[in-house]
Amino acid sequence: MPKKPTKTRKPKQTAIVRFLGRPAKPAAKLKRREASFRLLFDSNPIPMIVCAARDERVLAVNDAAIQHYGYSRSEFEKLTIRSLQAFDPELPWTGDSGDERAARTWKHVRADGALIDLAIYSRQLVYGDQPAILLALMDITERKRAEAQMTFMAQHDGLTGLPNRNLLRQKMDDILLRTRRSAEQVAVLVLGLDHFKAVNDTLGHGIGDKLLRGVAKRLRSILREGDALARLNSDEFVIVQSGATRPEDAAFLARRLLDVIADPYLLDGHSVVIGASIGIAMSPGDGDESEKLLKNADLALSRAKNDSRGTFSFFEAGMDARAQARRKIETELREAVQSDVLRPYYQPLVDLSSGRITGFEALVRWPHPERGMISPAEFIPVAEETGLINAVGGLMLRRACMDAVQWPDDIRVAVNLSPLQFRVGNLLCLVMDALNQSGLSAKRLELEITETLLLEKSSEVLATLHALRALGVRISMDDFGTGYSSLSYLRSFPFDKIKIDQSFVRDLAANPDAQAIVRSIISLGKGLGVTITAEGVETEAEVNCLRNEGCQEGQGFLFSRARPNAEIMSLLKAQRGYGAALVA
């Protein structure tokens, strides 16, 4: 017998909740479900709100929501979900066309006015016979803040707060895209601080950091809204000037930037002065994408730094080729140092009254397999830029001492030192080792330094110079007269010798001005009890003039070019006078 179908009762819709689309449940079961929902809802630690689907009115809130938002239950029930929001969401949130469980992030206002970020999970349900939405609200304010902080840190420089290279590139791309459609050009200015390392070395990193912040602040203060500013690396900043119509606009800005940086900074009681150099590349002529413009502006900066610091330079075609040639020199020089092919050549220093050789200056020579002898004027700057100068300088010092110890006892050897060799901090040991290993007496060694070393007037440099002198080593000032304040440097250290730069010796016989300068330097030397040597003596007329003025020593092609050590002994034996006898 077929089974009689049992009569199903239509479930009564009571106050709470039935998920839409679910089959109806018997009343007792429903009651139980409602009770557990209540329990789950009321005591849930996550803030929850039920609101009407139709008008977003708040129908119910749990205790956690009341606590979190700071509204009372009755205040809540007068609100709509939309009125909790800090701003109107652009997207409808109740449509629920997508995945209901996916979180949306909203910004709500709490009763005390504070803004909070929320991840909201929603679910449709029936609440008291009406379609409603259950919202679970997860507070993600802290997470968002941490994320924002992380994003900021990834895009900004921690010290100055300026955008870093990453953000700069994004900003540049935006500016370039915007200006591509107009006739405007974009100028990219890479600004490098001059001798920033000296500030760090002499005044400490704390003051160095403050100086960088000060520079950033001044740069920011003169830029316009559409311009971009970033810190590229330790002492380089980039300014992207939009709206430039001619290179003159960029030059004008560059001049202002140099001026604004040059004023002294008062940092922890120190008055610090720093200069800067600027390289400029203009879009679209020098490149139409950010990386290329930055690279070209950087090349122009190298030119500005090499020419004379404190100026600006525009990028020019050909700079790239020169930079590549420089990189090639660097690689080959590294190999040359490793395979020990650099050699000192020796140029005599001649006593002008007796005509006898008093010593030799060691001048580094690089025999290159393809290019022949490469001039130190070409590779010493590269060695200084790359730090290879320490190896080159150490090598020259050791070899010069080893060679000189074979010469007669009254013949000295002079070795050139780069300012960078003082920064490493082991110069004194290096000199002592070279003397000990060779057995050369300290009084036969002269060290030539240039005025740039004393630019910083750091106490460490002066202490090293005094310690070297205490060993018995003589200290000469090379290229005298070419620096900024040669005279003041003479006061900072008791030099044994001053070498007049060859630019003053040139045309000495025919040039009364040059004669007046040389005369003053010679009388200065006499007053200070310092030997004066004239560099670059090429003619009999020059040597006569120098001798008449009372100059003690000369060096130059008239006497001899620099020669390999193998020729020195025969040169010494052959010397008869300072004239033609010594000419190479």
Q: Which residues bind Mg ion (CB under 5 A)?
A: 416, 448, 478-479, 535
Give the tokens for residue 188. Answer: 């990219």
Among 49, 216, 280, 380, binds ligand C2E (CB under 6 A): 380
- In the complex, the smallest distance separating the C-beta of residue 461 from Mg ion, rounded to whole angstroms, is 18
Among 163, 348, 393, 554, binds ligand C2E (CB under 6 A): 393
- In the complex, the smallest distance separating the C-beta of residue 521 from ligand C2E, rounded to whole angstroms, is 15
Among 364, 401, 447, 543, binds ligand C2E (CB under 6 A): 364
Among 376, 394, 483, 525, binds ligand C2E (CB under 6 A): 376
User: What DSSP line would sit under 143-168, residue for residue?
Assistant: HHHHHHHHHHHHHB-TTT--B-HHHH
Q: Which is nearer to Mg ion, 200 or 555 (CB)?
A: 555
Q: Which is nearer to ligand C2E, 121 or 557 (CB)?
A: 557
Closest CA to 446 of 417, 413, 398: 413
Residue 554 near ligand C2E by CB under 6 A:
no
Residue 427 near ligand C2E by CB under 6 A:
no
557 binds, among ligand C2E, Mg ion, none (CB under 5 to 8 A by kind): ligand C2E
CA distances from 33 to 16, 25, 30, 38 (A): 9, 10, 5, 8
Among 157, 479, 549, 553, binds ligand C2E (CB under 6 A): 479
Q: What residue type is 60 in one-letter code?
A: A
Please list every residue from 404 through 423 that binds ligand C2E, using CB under 6 A: 416-418
Beta bridge partners of 476: 448, 497
332 binds, among ligand C2E, Mg ion, none (CB under 5 to 8 A by kind): none
> Quick one: which segment of 145-153, 283-291, 372-380, 456-464 binds ligand C2E (CB under 6 A)?
372-380
Write the binding mask 505 to 544 for ligand C2E: x where contact by CB under 6 A, - elsewhere: ------------------------------xxxx------
Q: Between 512-528 and 540-549, two packed helices, what is the crossing angle to 10 degrees?
A: 40
516: burial class by Cβ within 10 Å (0-12, 13-18, 19+)? exposed
Closest CA to 253 of 212, 285, 224: 224
347 binds, among Mg ion, ligand C2E, none (CB under 5 to 8 A by kind): ligand C2E
> Quick one: which segment of 195-203, 232-240, 522-530, 553-561 binds ligand C2E (CB under 6 A)?
553-561
545 binds, among ligand C2E, Mg ion, none (CB under 5 to 8 A by kind): none
Among 227, 456, 478, 553, binds ligand C2E (CB under 6 A): 478
Q: Which is nearer to ligand C2E, 265 or 346 (CB)?
A: 346
Q: How many CB atoms lie within 10 A of CB 363?
A: 20
538 binds, among ligand C2E, Mg ion, none (CB under 5 to 8 A by kind): ligand C2E
- In the complex, the smallest distance separating the C-beta of residue 384 from ligand C2E, rounded to whole angstroms, is 8
Main-chain dihedrals φ then ψ at residue 329, nearest 5 degrees: -60, -40
Give the tokens for residue 196. Answer: 């920033």
Classify residue 235 by its DSSP letter.
T
Q: According to DSSP H, which parts of 413-493 are helical?
A: 419-424, 427-438, 451-455, 459-471, 486-492
Among 350, 396, 445, 475, binds ligand C2E (CB under 6 A): 396
CA terminus-to-terminus distance, the chain: 135
- In the complex, the smallest distance separating the C-beta of residue 500 from ligand C2E, rounded to whole angstroms, is 11
CA diameter of the chain:
147
- In the complex, the smallest distance separating the C-beta of residue 537 from Mg ion, rounded to whole angstroms, is 12
| Cβ-count burial 93-105 (b if 16+ within 10 Å, e if not) | bbeeeeeeeeeee
Residue 375 near ligand C2E by CB under 6 A:
yes
Distance separating alpha carbons of residues 504 and 535, to the nearest angstrom? 9
Q: Which is nearer to ligand C2E, 202 or 418 (CB)?
A: 418
Distance separating alpha carbons of residues 338 and 395, to the nearest angstrom? 11
> Quick one: which segment of 23-31, 115-123, 282-290, 371-379 binds ligand C2E (CB under 6 A)?
371-379
* Binding residue count for ligand C2E, defined by CB under 6 A: 24
Residues 6+ apart with CB under 8 A from 116: 68, 107, 108, 109, 110, 139, 141
Residue 377 near ligand C2E by CB under 6 A:
yes
C-beta of residue 504 within 8 angstroms of C-beta of residue 538: no
Helix, strand, or coil here: 268? coil
Query: Which residues would be at the binding site for ligand C2E (CB under 6 A)?
Result: 347, 363-364, 375-377, 380, 393, 396, 416-418, 448, 478-479, 502, 535-538, 555-557, 562
